Amino acid sequence: MAYRYVATSVAGFVQQLAVGYVARGYYFYVTGRIPEHKDPVHTDEKIIAQYGIGVSKWVRARRKRQGLANVHYLRYGTFFVIIASHGKQPFFAAEARQLKDIRVYPLHFMGYSIGCRQCSRDGELHVSVRIHQESYRELKDRFERNAVHRSVDDLCRDLRAIPFEPYAPVRDQIRCILRAVNRRRAAGGFETVPRNPLRETRRPVRPFDQSRE
């Protein structure tokens, strides 16, 4: 099967990066944007060839046993990320100046913050997908401003329309927004907004599904 790397939706890019790569030990990354005047396919092919990315899962398994790093490439539109696992690989020397560890520096993409954090309960590393702090503050401020100026039905629709997939940290952030809204409404003597409009379950997507383009 040909190596697939062009995500056809924001949700697909985030899911593939977080669940497909970071959750499997790919922590070291660089990001970039392909200039509008350049052919993205040419850039894709150059990067994939340079780091030996387009190989089978059996080759990746053999590299891992030999202490070599594996590398993945993922693009949405003109934005791309190259991300690697532990081990030896020319990628680390070539990208040393801009290389980041996602466990320390979360990746920011389309209002999301994708990182990896140590769980306080079990001490294990877990992928963390949340709304980037700046986007979250803007969203929370907007809901608080509208808290007493919109009906409960309107606010429920607004909450359902928040364009972020309900990963656990995102759900926590949206619950915080709802609590802030209800504090404003309660202080003004308005009916509070129920919790039921919140999206509690994330539906997995097909990251490379051509029908989503």
Domain check: are 21 and 125 in the same one?
A: yes
Domain check: are 54 and 140 in the same one?
A: no
200 occurs within a structural domain: no
Domain check: are 27 and 120 in the same one?
A: yes
Domain check: are 171 and 139 in the same one?
A: yes
85 occurs within a structural domain: yes
81 occurs within a structural domain: yes
In 3D, which of 71, 91, 74, 93 has the Cα closest to residue 24? 71
For the cut 60, the answer to whether the pLDDT of residue 211 exceeds it is no
For the cut 80, the answer to whether the pLDDT of residue 1 exceeds it is no
| Overall number of domains in the chain | 2
What pLDDT is stored for residue 122 in this prediction? 77
What pLDDT is stored for residue 102 in this prediction? 98
Please count the other Cβ atoms lying within 10 Å of the Cβ belonging to residue 105: 11
Domain check: are 112 and 21 in the same one?
A: yes
What pLDDT is stored for residue 92 in this prediction? 97
Domain check: are 137 and 91 in the same one?
A: no
**Percent above pLDDT 70 for the chain:** 98
Mean pLDDT, the chain, integer: 94
198 occurs within a structural domain: no
Domain check: are 99 and 164 in the same one?
A: no
What's the CA gap between 130 and 132, in Å, rounded? 6
- Domain hosting 48: range is 10-130+207-212
Question: Interhelix angle for 133-146 vs 168-187, to 10°?
Answer: 30
